[in-house]
Amino acid sequence: MVQLKRVLPSLAVMAAIVAAWWAIVAVGGSVVFPTPWQVVTGTAELVRDGTLWRHIGSSLFRVGAGFALAVAVAVPLGLWMGWVKGAYATLNPLFQMLRPISPIAWIPIAILWFGVGDVSPIFLIFISSVFPMVVQTTVGVHTIEKRYLRAAANFGVSRGTLFRQVVIPAVLPQVIVGMRIGLGVAWLVVVAAEMIALRSGLGYLIMDSRNAGNRYDLVVAAMVIIGMIGLLLDGLMRLLEGLKSVRWRYAH
């Protein structure tokens, strides 16, 4: 009941937007822009002929591969840069310069290097999500409270124990924040990447629907699905924030 009360206002806003949309299309009499109902039937069509699952699968695969690669690179790199002063001084300026470059700007280079297969979007996702994760991990190491490092030194633990039981768990909440940001960006970028010269994925679905006879019902359907999957991915990352061993960081 309490939960219902909390989501009620946002549901009301969404309902109002759908209603307004419907009214405007009905009054305006547009032949291209779809009504909400046409979007629903369009979605049903995609579900029935199976193309929707194929496109979702392709997009998720690319995001999964690029993101996993980015995590595998960013976390060790971030730990190293956070722990070793020289590594930070050497690499941080470079990353700070690369970070503001939109991943979209890398598209021509991706095509040049990797052609128009799956590798290009995976590379773009890697590029887009690796920097926020490196930065967050580094910040995580830099903000480990001195009292914990002191305690570790006091008990005279080995370097391995120091890393396993102090540094990595202390940084983990920041890593998860970085992963949330990284996955969010990755999902934005995959759609953009798929609009160029690919034959599958939700981004391709949008461009293809427009090019193949102005099927704007399918364009909007794909947009709504992209939004919902993005929400779901963020929800997954938020589940990680609920782990008992990281909750201390978010609690206050």
Partner 1 sequence: MPIRISVKGIGKGFATEQGTLQVVDDFSLDVADGETVAIVGPSGCGKSTLMSIIAGFERPDRGSVGIDGVVQDGPSSRGILISQQGSVFPWLTVQQNLMFGLNGRELAEKKQLADHYAEMVGLKGFENRYPHELSGGMLKRAELARALVVKPEILYMDEPFSALDALLHLRMRNELLRILEQERHTVLLITHDVEEAIHLANRVVVLSPRPTRIQSTFEVPFPHPRRISSAPVQELRTRILRELGVEADST
> Which residues contribute to the site for partner 1 (CB under 8 A)?
147-148, 150-151, 153-158, 161, 165-166, 169-170, 172, 244-249, 251
Choose between 75 and 172: whose C-beta lies nearer to partner 1.
172
Closest to partner 1 by CB, 125 vs 246, is: 246
**Measured in whole angstroms, how far is the alpha carbon of residue 30 from the centre of its chain?**
34
* Rounded Cα gap, residues 178 and 131, in angstroms: 9
Q: What number of CA atoms fall less than 13 Å from residue 135's CA on the CB side?
A: 18
Shortest Å, Cβ 139 to partner 1: 17
Q: Residue 217 is encoded by which pair of tokens?
A: 């019902």
Q: Is 246 exposed, middle or buried (0-12, 13-18, 19+ CB in 10 A)?
A: buried
Tokens of 153: 């030194």
> Among residues 53 and 248, whose Cβ is nearest to partner 1?
248
CA distance 34 to 232: 26
Select 85 or 146, whichever has its Cβ closest to partner 1.
146
Of 183, 146, 190, 184, nearest to 166 (Cα)? 146
> What gap in Å lies between CA 172 and CA 144, rounded to an integer?
11
Smallest gap, in angstroms, from Cβ of residue 46 to partner 1? 45
Give whichever of 78 and 103 is closer to partner 1, judged by the CB atom. 78
Q: Considering the complex, what minimum distance in angstroms separates the CB of residue 209 from partner 1?
A: 48
| CA separation for the pair 196, 188 (Å, rounded) | 14
State the nearest-atom distance from the C-beta of 241 to partner 1, in Å: 13
Cβ proximity of 108 and 46 under 8 Å: no
The minimum distance between CB 238 and partner 1, in angstroms, equals 18
Q: Which is nearer to partner 1, 101 or 151 (CB)?
A: 151
Instruction: Judge contact between 220 and 236, C-beta under 8 A.
Output: no
Considering the complex, what minimum distance in angstroms separates the CB of residue 159 from partner 1?
Answer: 12
Nearer to partner 1, 157 or 188 (CB): 157
| Minimum distance, C-beta of residue 177 to partner 1, in the bound complex (Å) | 15
Specify the residue for token string 């549901």.
11
